A = this chain, B = another copy of it.
Amino acid sequence: MSGWQNYIEEHRERYVRELSDFLRIPSISSLSEHADDVKRAGEWVAERLRKAGMEAVEVMPTGGHPVVCGQWLHAPGKPTVLIYGHFDVQPADPLELWTTPPFEPEIRDERIYARGASDNKGNMLTPIIAVEALLQTDGTLPLNVKFLFEGQEEIGSPQLADFLKNNRELFACDLILNADSGQWSEDQPSLLTSLRGLCGLQVDVTGADSDLHSGMYGGAVQNPIHALIQILNSMRGSDGRILIEGFYEKVRMLSDAEKAQLDSIPFDKSEFMNGIGVTELFGEAGFSDLERIWTRPTLELNGIWGGFQGEGLKTVLPNKAHAKITCRLVADQDPEHIYSLIETHIRQNTPAGVKVDMTPVESNANPYLMPADLPGSLAAIEVLSELYGKKPILVREGGSVPILSLLLEHLGTYATCFGFGMNDEKFHAPDEFFRLKNFELGQRAYCKILHRLGHQK
């Protein structure tokens, strides 16, 4: 057994105690009354990095919640890895649904319950512990390490783009490990290989100057709600296929091998349906459920409103109707190009008697498809195979993780997701927890992957 392995086991209780201390700080980034707590959590992280042996540790201002950085760069000729995580958490309400208070961590059945336990305090602590264990036992690290922990992930990292742009050199690296992620199940490791991108818009349809009486005007004047649904309905066939011209043109089709790989994933359809309370799934014909969620673009109506929404009856012919639309995009779709296709489609399908305004959403995201030969990912596959005794399955994500795109855009580096959360751990919900078994597994995994990356080069 390696020295670091002994070290980790010996200090197990201390690590859990430290995690508990960290979890007691209610670092809710979305509530301004907790801004000081977010800062306090950042200072806790900075202190912990120093204690682990990191240098140049700083709590850096961003204009919003701070970023904490630290580094150890004494491995000349070796690659530099940047490790990412976040110390802010989601709000804890509804409080009454928590078994124990969200910021008073409690261990039950080898799980630690608290807001942020899994997302992301428990996970982000594991690489810090790993470098401490390596430095304490080996006296050195196998490669150069930088840390970047932020305090605004749960509110969409609004200041992070500018911050990264202004600190490119500080965070320059050869590869990135993202601790804000997880594994498929307790006995099945996984590696994330792609995420979908995003573009979207709000559509505003206007008819008359003001709402009209449906008796006095109904039949003579275009109804903006009717016009809107006609436009929206023209965008998608009843078979779920998007009918906007050119929408699928740049979509990269899966190879037979990729298809086979997806089909081999132990996706439990009835569990998926039970989890959300539906009795059948629906989507573009000719693709499996996982293909549709992970590898096909969508056009989703996120919201719609117009006219009377109260109780009972109001015989109004409204003068406005609105909808929010977002598309999930896949490689090699371009958000701006897709937006322009939607815009053209709407112009061409606007019926007589109304005018239409369109406003793009600000937070476009490119689809994120990782190169298959990413060194961090190859190392992750080996480490996970060793720890779990089986190869990780290659998974994708239907959502977008803005930080990965930001890191790629500003640092020019893809990130390998290397975290040990699990989907059942109720992040963003009451009774969030983290498996202590995975807390320790993560520490060992980080020791192993740092060693492997140090010796790869």
User: Which segment, of A91-99, A230-238, A253-261, faces chain B?
Assistant: A230-238
Most chain B CB neighbours (cut-off 10 Å) among A215, A236, A298, A353: A215
| Chain A window 298-327, contacts with chain B (Cβ cutoff 8 Å), 1 for yes, 0 for no | 101111111111001111111001111010
Q: Which of B209, B229, B276, B307 contacts A303 (CB 8 A)?
A: B307
Which B residues touch A238, using CB under 8 A? 230, 351
* The stretch of A44-52, A53-61, A282-290 that contacts the partner chain: A282-290
Q: Is A190 an interface residue (CB 8 A)?
A: no
CA distance A272 to B219 in the complex (A): 13
Given A276-B208, A304-B321, A305-B305, residue A399 in contact with residue B219 (CB < 8 A): no
| Residues in A187-236 with C-beta less than 8 Å from chain B | 196, 198, 200, 207-210, 212-223, 225-226, 228-230, 232-233, 236
Question: Which residues of chain B have C-beta atoms less than 8 A from A283's C-beta?
Answer: 219-221
Instruction: Identify which of B208, B216, B217, B309 contacts A322 (C-beta below 8 A).
Output: B309
Please tell me which one of the listed residues B277, B296, B302, B361 contacts residue A209 in the complex, with CB atoms under 8 A apart: B277
**Known contacts A220-B272, A220-B289, A303-B306; can you find 18 more A-B pairs with CB under 8 A?**
A210-B277, A217-B398, A219-B296, A219-B298, A219-B398, A220-B281, A220-B283, A221-B281, A222-B278, A223-B301, A225-B323, A226-B300, A229-B304, A233-B233, A280-B353, A302-B316, A313-B326, A315-B326
A–B Cβ pairs within 8 angstroms, 6 of them? A214-B300, A216-B398, A217-B293, A220-B272, A282-B352, A302-B314
- A interface residues with partner B (beta carbon < 8 Å): 196, 198, 200, 207-210, 212-223, 225-226, 228-230, 232-233, 236, 238, 272, 276-278, 280-284, 289, 292-293, 296, 298, 300-309, 312-318, 321-324, 326, 328, 351-353, 361-363, 397-400
Q: List the 3 closest A-B pairs by CB distance, nearest first.
A: A215-B399, A209-B277, A303-B307
